[in-house]
Chains A and B, each alone.
Chain A
């Protein structure tokens, strides 16, 4: 148990589906993040939330839509994805924006 829980662990979806990834942290952290990890590429920061407000959006396509309803939960809503979006999506949290991050185990997404 890492303190950051991601569900589901694995997800296969068609290009026309809509699905959501969930991240939950019970560490009392104020910042949460979504990262994308593709094969043979560095981890890419997608979104950053601090105190439930989005503070960074790194040119991510609109087919990815984050939501942070409270400081413990972070969602990534997915719709009309492409096969190249297949990757491991990692959620992380930190006490503040310049503290060490605690990562979840990730959701392995396959778009078919």
Chain B
């Protein structure tokens, strides 16, 4: 399987700080999709974003923004003005070719009051 690497295992910030979660992926496919999911303590994986490989425009949704750089095979996620409710494990994932969704190991984010 083509790997997805989230080098940061755990990050701890204080509320209102900005935080960036890194994601680097391997790919041999021309067409592929990249995802971010949030897993709060309750366990379910909450879909945040899906990008296809042809769309390198950065995206902003409220306090969330994503930076897709094909040249470096990265799809980083930034939370601006973090809040305690942002505390969760965040997963980056990739899907393409004949492969189904492949996840990174996740980054545990703790936002302290």
Residues of chain A at the chain B interface (Cβ within 8 Å): 2, 33, 40-43, 45, 48, 56, 88, 90, 92, 97-98, 100-106, 108
- A67–B51 Cα distance when bound, in Å, is 31
Whether B42 and A45, one on each chain, are in contact in the complex, defined by CB atoms closer than 8 angstroms, is: no
Whether A100 and B105, one on each chain, are in contact in the complex, defined by CB atoms closer than 8 angstroms, is: no
Whether a CB of chain A sits under 8 angstroms from the CB of B44 is: yes
Whether a CB of chain A sits under 8 angstroms from the CB of B68 is: no
- Least CB separation from A104: chain B residue: B44
Residues of chain B at the chain A interface (Cβ within 8 Å): 4, 33, 35, 37, 42-47, 50, 91, 95, 100-106
In this complex, the member of B35, B42, B43, B46 whose beta carbon has the largest number of chain A beta carbons within 10 angstroms is B43
17 A/B residue pairs, CB under 8 Å, sorted by A: A2-B46, A42-B104, A42-B105, A42-B106, A43-B91, A43-B103, A88-B43, A97-B100, A100-B47, A101-B47, A101-B101, A103-B37, A103-B46, A105-B44, A106-B43, A106-B44, A108-B43
- Collect the chain B residues with CB atoms within 8 Å of residue A108's CB: 43
- A105–B41 Cα distance when bound, in Å, is 10
- Least CB separation from B35: chain A residue: A100
Since A42-B105, A43-B103, A101-B101 are in contact, a sample of 11 more A-B pairs with Cβ atoms closer than 8 Å, ordered by chain A residue number, is A2-B44, A33-B100, A42-B104, A42-B106, A45-B100, A90-B43, A101-B45, A103-B45, A105-B42, A106-B44, A108-B43
- A106–B44 Cα distance when bound, in Å, is 6
CB distance from B41 to the nearest CB of A (A): 11
CB distance from B99 to the nearest CB of A (A): 9
- A35–B42 Cα distance when bound, in Å, is 16
- Least CB separation from B95: chain A residue: A98
- Collect the chain B residues with CB atoms within 8 Å of residue A103's CB: 37, 44-47
- Least CB separation from A43: chain B residue: B103
CB distance from A82 to the nearest CB of B (A): 22
